[in-house]
Amino acid sequence: TSCPPTGGPGAAAEEEVRRLCQGFMAPPVSGPQELWRRRRDMRGRMELLIMETQAEVCRALAALDRGAAFAVNTWERKEGGGGISCVLQDGHIFEKAGVNVSVVFGNLSAEAVQQMKSRKTLKDKDGKLPFCAMGVSSVIHPKNPHVPTVHFNYRYFEIEEADGTKQWWFGGGTDLTPTYLNKEDAVHFHKTLKEACDKHDPKLYPKYKKWCDDYFYIKHRGERRGIGGIFFDDLDSPSKEEVFQFVQSCAKAIVPCYIPIVKKHCHDPFTPEEKLWQQLRRGRYVEFNLVYDRGTKFGLATPGSRIESILMSLPLTARWEYMHTPPENSREAEILEVLRNPKDWVH
């Protein structure tokens, strides 16, 4: 898809969209012409942000894992919209790193409507709700057990109710899942996210840190999936512009909160026993994603979803052992203690 021609009153804006398009992993889902036309409304601005975030993260990962390349797939959804999946598999540093963008629209399925009605008051028309949803989501599983897994997702929703009124909201978050606890890394990760939140309101980080600890809870195990970060959903105040600016700050914090940790540990030596523990912890990751994760459930309930993209979050390898318990006072027991009793990493 070619970008719009330059010239005319909006030349500077056109040129900016053209420049951004050239840096993306693939042409944007809506097409550059449509993006330029929508550049002032939230759907256009959010699509630009998620495309930029995808490209920025992929470039940072590829620069670390030299010689490894992202497979880039663009896909279309016949009901409306599509997406771009970028996956690096079996690299030197990353076992599986996926960064997906999706921009989908149409009517929500009855199952998806029911899921949303558990959290919101929505007036559908004959069971139908026109919607638009877009987001960038990623899970990065490294090979070395001393490099943590990271997950992030930033998304925007619009729904048109039966009477024509539109509801909108943002959701998202960034969270870390280490196999072994490194307190310095935990502090760096949380402080970087706190700084992004504090630019907008000092109350945000403590609120969204707690939400993250509560959301990523594997109820049947009595453990969190990882050491948290931030998480929020259904965010529609104080204003659309202010929430967008906040989401933008969070997206810009992804590379600085995570990449330094990868650089620090990607060449750390590890034993077969440490690799085994990583595989067992990955099993927990799978359990959370398939049993509890809201995004996975919504994706599986949306007609025309790309299943490969939804299940991209699952690791390449994982393990389940019957009745596995780590020895007392071991490094394995140390991380379990933190997963059972979340800590404050910034005060």
Higher pLDDT residue, 329 or 79?
329
pLDDT tens digits along 226-241 = 999 999 999 999 999 9
Asked if residues 60 and 259 have their Cβ atoms less than 8 Å apart, the reply is yes
pLDDT tens digits along 272-320 = 999 999 999 999 999 999 999 988 988 888 877 889 988 989 999 999 9
C-alpha span between 11 and 14 (Å, rounded): 5
DSSP state of 28: -
Task: Specify the pLDDT at position 31.
Answer: 87
Does residue 76 carry a pLDDT above 50? yes
Q: What is the separation, in whole angstroms, between the first and last Cα of the chain?
A: 49
Q: Which of 146, 151, 190, 265 is catalytic?
A: 151
200 as an active site residue: the answer is: no
Mean predicted confidence (pLDDT) in 58-87: 93
Q: What is the pTM of this model?
A: 0.92
Mean predicted confidence (pLDDT) in 88-105: 95
C-alpha span between 88 and 332 (Å, rounded): 28
Sheet hosting strand 130-142, strand order edge to edge: 71-76, 81-89, 94-107, 130-142, 149-160, 166-177, 228-235
Task: Specify the pLDDT at position 2.
Answer: 47
Distance of CA 30 to the CA centre of its chain: 20
pLDDT tens digits along 184-219 = 999 999 999 999 999 999 999 999 999 999 999 999
Residue 177: φ, ψ to 5°:
-130, 90
Stretch (H or E) spanning 169: strand 166-177
C-alpha span between 120 and 106 (Å, rounded): 19
Task: Specify the pLDDT at position 237.
Answer: 93
The mean predicted confidence, pLDDT, of the chain is 91
Task: Specify the pLDDT at position 10.
Answer: 65
Q: 22: buried, middle or exposed (CB in 10 Å: 19+, 13-18, 0-12)?
A: exposed
